[in-house]
Amino acid sequence: MLLIPSFTANSNEPPPSKLSLSDLSMAILKSHFFLLFPLLLLHFHTVSFAQTLFVFGDGLYDAGNKQFLSQNRVDASFPPYGVTVGQATGRWSDGSIVPDYLAKFMGIPKISPILLTTADFSHGANFAIADATVLGSPPETMTLSQQVKKFSENKNKWTNQTRSEAIYLIYIGSDDYLSYAKSNPSPSDTQKQAFVDQVITTIKAEIKVVYGSGGRKFAFQNLAPLGCLPAVKQASGNVQECVKLPSEMAALHNKKLLQLLVELSRELNGFQYSFYDFFSSIQNRVIKSKTYSKPFIIIVTITFYKRFDICLV
């Protein structure tokens, strides 16, 4: 297992005018903290210094916000969702989701959806919601900007120190690229690049808003190969092959996102990040499915370091 590290803002190296592949390689070799995804890690004694978690994103991280905004039936509020935990909770899963596992590792309760106004938010809040996008204004959901605005409106629930020590977990963008690919089946390379740049520019602006409110420790899970999603393959009429364009867009997004994080780590004092390559994890299991015969379970844990560290387990 490879622990994936990051750049820090304290690096003495001058920021490059343009990031090359070697720059990105170095980004993976210098770290403050990293993501681990092993199931077995939960069997070992672990300590998390961070005791607060803020979550932003789409349905992959939604802990139940959708049911408070939608006027229609929200499937995640009914079985078979939640069957492994005894009841449906508004999560788009048969049980727990990535933020739940991270909270467990941190030794804190599951983080409640921000729209559940009666919840205890002493350990953070979950702003993620199904169908969320970076761009546009889809109905009955919140864009990333709206989620960050909601965070800003509620930030006084937590002290400055709490916000600066918290982890900010983010996964978003899938719906942007799926909608784009559906509306633009044959875009030019220039058009693809321009759309990704719009998404990344917006993400950058919202990261800076959170940073301005005290956020320093950001954890990103990059996008999956979207063309390999079962629903996307089914819609294409060929369930045996992944659809090229959505996965291309996701790959381009992931490259640009990592470049952005490297740049911000050099630009913003104290900015720290981790970057999990979810794209490769899913792609390997699609292409080499026989190698991964057991169920694929993601357990997220984050450890903070103030020195260079790479560990192979």
Question: With bands split at pLDDT 50, 70 and 90, how would you rate the model's confidence at 23?
Answer: very low
- Closest C-alpha to 298, from 100, 74, 115: 100
CATH match for 21-304 among 3.40.50, 3.30.420, 3.10.260, 3.40.1350:
3.40.50
Predicted confidence (pLDDT) per residue in 153-198, tens digit: 999 999 999 999 999 999 999 999 999 999 999 999 999 999 999 9
Q: Answer yes or no: are the C-beta atoms of 78 and 91 closer than 8 Å.
A: no
| Angle, helix 244-267 to helix 189-212, in steps of 10 degrees | 40
What is the pLDDT of the chain when averaged over all its residues?
Answer: 82
Containing 125, the helix (H) or strand (E) segment is strand 124-126
* Rounded Cα–Cα distance for residues 210 and 149 (Å): 9
Parse the chain into domains and list their residue ranges: 21-304
Q: Hey, CA dihedral for 70, 146, 98, 157, is it positive or negative? A: negative
What pLDDT is recorded for position 150?
98
Q: Answer yes or no: are the C-beta atoms of 75 and 112 closer than 8 Å.
A: no
Three-state DSSP state, 151: helix
* Rounded Cα–Cα distance for residues 119 and 157 (Å): 12
- Closest C-alpha to 248, from 306, 195, 209, 172: 195
Question: Which position has the higher pLDDT, 305 or 139?
Answer: 139
Question: With bands split at pLDDT 50, 70 and 90, how would you rate the model's confidence at 20?
Answer: very low
Q: Answer yes or no: are the C-beta atoms of 94 and 82 closer than 8 Å.
A: yes
What pLDDT is recorded for position 198?
98
What pLDDT is recorded for position 105?
92
- Closest C-alpha to 228, from 295, 282, 183: 282
Question: Structure tokens of 212?
Answer: 């301005």
Question: With bands split at pLDDT 50, 70 and 90, how would you rate the model's confidence at 300?
Answer: very low
